[in-house]
Structure 1
Amino acid sequence: MIIDSHIHIGKEELLSPDIVAFFKQKNAWEDIREKISPEGVISALDRSGVDKGVIFPLTFMPTNGNWQAMNDMTADYVALYPQRFIGFAIVNPKQVAESVKELERCRTQLGFKGVKLHPSMQEFFSNSESMFPVYQYCQDHHMPILFHTGASLPSHSDKFSHPILLDDVAAKFPDLKMVIAHMGRPYYQDAALIMRKHVNIYADVCANQGRVGGTTLLEMALTWLKIYADGVKRLLFASDYPVFDPKRGLDDLDFIRKNRCLPNSNDPIISDEEYLAITEKNCTKILLDI
Structure 2
Amino acid sequence: MKKNRRAFIRQSGLTGLGLSTVGLGSGLGRRFNFIGPKEMEHDIYNGVAPSDWNVFDAHCIVGRHLKWNGEGLHTMEDLLSEMDHYGITEALVVDSLSRENHPFDGNQRILERSKTRPRIHPAWSVLPSVLEETGRSPEQFFREMQRNNVRALFLFTNQFFFNLSDWCIDALMEPLAERKVLVFINPVEANGRGSSDATDWDGIVDLCKRWPDIPVIISEGRIRRSQRMLYKAFDACPNLHLELSAHWLHRGIEFISEHWGANRLVFGSGWPKYGQHMTLVNLTTAQIDEKDKKLIAGDNLRKILSWDTPIPKLKVDFPEPHDEYVKYGRSGIRPSDMTFYDVHGHLGEYNAHYHVPESDIESVVEDIQYYGLEKICAFSFAGVYSDEVFGNDIVSRDVKMHSDRFIGFTLLNPLRGEEEMNAELKRGAAQGMRGIKLIPTYQGYPVEGPLIEVACQWAHDHQQIIINHYWGSAEQIEKLVSKYTKACFVTAHTTTAYADVMKEYQNLYICSVPLLSPRACEEVVDAIGADRFLFGTDLLDLPIGWGLGPILFARISTEEKRLILHDNLKNILTKYSL
Q: Distance in 1 between matches of 2:92 and 2:195?
A: 26
Residue of structure 1 equivalent to 2:366: none
Task: Give the Cα–Cα distance (whole angstroms) in 2 for the partners of residues 203 and 130 of structure 1.
Answer: 23
CA contact (8 A) 2:98 2:124 kept: no
Distance change in 2, residues 1:96/1:53 (3 Å): same
1:100 partnered with 2:138:
yes
- 1:91 maps to which residue? 126
* Alpha-carbon distance in structure 2 between the residues aligned to 1:287 and 1:154: 28
Decide whether aligned partners of structure 1 residues 199 and 105 sit closer, same or farther in structure 2, where only a CA change above 3 A counts: same
Please give the alpha-carbon distance, in whole angstroms, between the structure 1 residues aligned to 2:90 and 2:113: 13
Q: TM-score, normalised by structure 2?
A: 0.40
Which segments of 5 or more consecutive residues in structure 2 lack a partner in the other structure? Answer: 1-53, 309-578
1:1-290 alignment runs, 5 A limit: 1-10=54-63, 12=64, 20=66, 23=67, 29-32=69-72, 35-60=73-98, 67-81=103-117, 83-96=118-131, 98=136, 100=138, 103-149=141-187, 153-155=191-193, 161-182=199-220, 185-186=223-224, 187-208=226-247, 217-219=248-250, 221-222=252-253, 225-226=256-257, 229-257=259-287, 270-288=288-306, 290=308
SS in 1 for 2:71: helix
Q: Structure 1 residue 252: deviation in Å?
A: 1.9
2:449 paired residue number: none
TM-score by length of 1: 0.75
Pick closer, same or farther for the CA change 1:220–1:127 going to 2, 3 Å.
farther
Q: Partner of 2:286: helix, strand, or coil?
A: helix
SS in 1 for 2:60: strand
Q: What is the SS of the residue equivalent to 1:29?
A: coil
- Superposed CA offset, 1:17-51 (max 9, x none): xxx2xx2xxxx52233xx22121111111111111
CA contact 1:123–1:160 (8 Å) conserved in 2:
no
Q: Secondary structure at the match of 2:273?
A: coil
Aligned length: 251
Specify the alignment match of 1:267 in structure 2: none
Q: Which residue type is aligned with residue 284 of structure 2?
A: D
- The one-character-per-residue Cα deviations of 1:187-219 (angstroms, maximum 9, x if unpaired) are 2121221222222111110144xxxxxxxx332
Q: For the Cα contact (< 8 Å) 1:114–1:143, is it kept in 2?
A: yes
SS in 1 for 2:122: strand
Does structure 2 retain, via aligned residues, the 8 Å contact 1:7–1:242? yes
Matched residue type, 2:70: E
Judge conservation of contact 1:96–1:133 (CA < 8 Å) in 2: no
Distance in 1 between residues matched to 2:275 and 2:155, nearest whole Å: 21
Distance 1:234 1:75, change over 3 A: same
CA 1:114–1:189: 2 relative to 1, 3 Å:
same
| Distance 1:253-1:62 versus aligned 2 partners, 3 A rule | closer
Cα separation, 1, equivalents of 2:198 and 2:279 = 27
Report the Cα distance in structure 1 between the residues aligned to 2:281 and 2:149, rounded to whole angstroms: 31
4+ residue segments displaced more than 4 Å: 149-160
Distance across 2 between alignment mates of 1:281 and 1:62: 29
Letter of the 1:249 partner, please give it.
T
* CA distance 1:288–1:45, change in 2 (3 Å): farther
Shift of 1:7: 0.5
Cα distance in 2, alignment partners of residues 85 and 149 from structure 1? 24
What is the rounded CA distance, in whole Å, between the counterparts of 2:177 and 2:262 in structure 1?
24
SS in 2 for 1:86: strand
- Residue identity opposite 1:45 in structure 2: M
Kindly provide the CA deviation profile for residues 43-66 of structure 1, in whole angstroms up to 9, marking residues without a partner as x: 111111111100012354776xx6
Greater RCO between the two (CA within 8 Å, min separation 6)? Answer: 1
Q: 1:278, 1:61 → 2: CA distance? A: 25
Are 2:257 and 2:264, in contact at CA under 8 Å, matched by a contact in 1? Answer: no
